[in-house]
């Protein structure tokens, strides 16, 4: 059966990771996309894209301000949620259980239902507060997968570095990926 995946894009730099993940998932999974207000600004700034880019046969685009949505409920089975990129603001609010937007609420549901929540933070340097929030989320069951590509593949084009991170996300989702070959010395 096709996996049901929630992809959230928030207002951190590196929206290219979210876009690339979407491109890889859209024909292979049922994808529910949520874009924060600042995430939409970053999509425009960094990629020249509008939220309408995130469309497709098995794709639903949700408004993060609209809580009255199927995915806000634990009774709607979602296999996994990926927040990519994850801003420190969103990380902090998920960690505090704020649940004030659809992104925060779905992340909260993933944690309470013990489902897979993958957070891809992008910030540097990290403050003590960022690190404490990330640790709390790890302890609550989330997977912290930093947007931190390796450079050992040799051909380090921008695309291959983005693919490095996206491949690791796809592996964590249990999806086949051919973006990154296993390391061979
Ligand atoms: C151009 C730009 C780049 C930003 N990059 C980052 C970033 O890399 N990481 C981060 O945590 N916040 C970053 N921010 C700050 C967030 O956008 C801000 O904290 C915002 O409130 C996050 O909202 P959201 O989590 O609802 O998307 C950036 C803001 C701007 C305008």
Instruction: Determine, yes or no, domain membership for 27.
Output: yes
Residue 112 above 80 pLDDT? Answer: yes
Instruction: Determine, yes or no, domain membership for 11.
Output: yes
Instruction: Determine, yes or no, domain membership for 136.
Output: yes
Residue 153 above 90 pLDDT? Answer: no
Confidence (pTM) = 0.98
Looking at residue 183, its pLDDT comes to 83
Residue 102 above 80 pLDDT? Answer: yes
- Please tell me the number of Cα atoms within 13 Å of 120 on its side-chain side: 30
Instruction: Determine, yes or no, domain membership for 181.
Output: no
User: SS3 of 63, please?
Assistant: strand
* Averaged pLDDT for residues 132-154: 95
* Averaged pLDDT for residues 106-119: 98
**Helix 88-95 / helix 102-112 crossing angle, nearest 10 deg:** 50
Q: How far apart are CA 162 and CA 155, in angstroms?
A: 12
Q: 90 CB less than 6 Å from ligand 1?
A: yes
Q: How far is CA 165 from CA 2, 4, 17, 64, 114, in A?
A: 23, 21, 7, 25, 24
Q: How many angstroms separate the alpha carbon of residue 141 from the centre of ligand 1? A: 24
Locate the ligand 1 atom nearest the alpha carbon of residue 93 and give its number: 25
Nearest to 180 by CA among 78, 86, 171, 142: 171
Instruction: Determine, yes or no, domain membership for 97.
Output: yes
The structural domain count of the chain equals 1
Residue 163 above 90 pLDDT? Answer: yes
147: Cα separation from own chain's centroid: 10
Q: How far apart are CA 72 and CA 114, in angstroms?
A: 15
Looking at residue 1, its pLDDT comes to 83
Residue 155 above 80 pLDDT? Answer: no
pLDDT, one tens digit per residue, over 12-61 is 999 999 999 999 999 999 999 999 999 999 999 999 999 999 999 999 99
* Averaged pLDDT for residues 128-140: 98
- Residue to mutate, 7, 9, 11, ligand 1, most ligand atoms under 8 Å from C-beta: 11
Looking at residue 5, its pLDDT comes to 98
Q: How far apart are CA 55 and CA 141, in angstroms?
A: 30
Q: 12 CB less than 6 Å from ligand 1?
A: yes
Host H or E run for residue 29: strand 29-35
Q: 38 CB less than 6 Å from ligand 1?
A: yes
Mean pLDDT of the residues in the chain: 96
Instruction: Determine, yes or no, domain membership for 75.
Output: yes
Looking at residue 154, its pLDDT comes to 80
Q: How many angstroms separate the alpha carbon of residue 94 from the centre of ligand 1? A: 15
Q: 89 CB less than 6 Å from ligand 1?
A: yes
Q: How far apart are CA 16 and CA 114, in angstroms?
A: 28
CATH number at residue 137: 3.40.50.1950
* Averaged pLDDT for residues 122-127: 98
Nearest to 119 by CA among 95, 155, 98: 95
Instruction: Determine, yes or no, domain membership for 185.
Output: no
Looking at residue 96, its pLDDT comes to 98
| Structural domain boundaries enclosing 96 | 3-172
Instruction: Determine, yes or no, domain membership for 69.
Output: yes
């Amino acid at each position: 059966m096709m996996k049901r995946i929630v992809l959230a894009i928030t207002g951190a730099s590196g929206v290219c990771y979210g876009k690339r993940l979407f491109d890889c998932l859209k024909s292979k999974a049922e994808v529910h996309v949520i874009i924060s207000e600042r995430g939409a600004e970053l999509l425009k700034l960094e990629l020249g894209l509008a939220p309408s880019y995130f469309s497709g046969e098995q794709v639903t685009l949700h408004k993060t301000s609209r809580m009255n949505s199927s995915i806000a409920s634990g009774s709607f089975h979602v296999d996994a949620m990926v927040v990519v990129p994850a801003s420190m603001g969103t990380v902090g609010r998920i960690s505090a259980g704020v649940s004030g937007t659809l992104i925060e609420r779905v992340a909260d549901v993933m944690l309470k239902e013990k489902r897979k929540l993958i957070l891809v933070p992008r910030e540097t340097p990290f403050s003590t507060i960022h690190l404490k929030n990330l640790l709390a989320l790890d302890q609550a069951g989330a997977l912290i997968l930093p947007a931190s590509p390796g450079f050992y593949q040799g051909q380090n084009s921008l695309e291959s570095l983005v693919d490095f991170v996206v491949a690791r996300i796809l592996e964590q989702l249990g999806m086949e990926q051919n973006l990154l070959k296993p390391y061979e010395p």
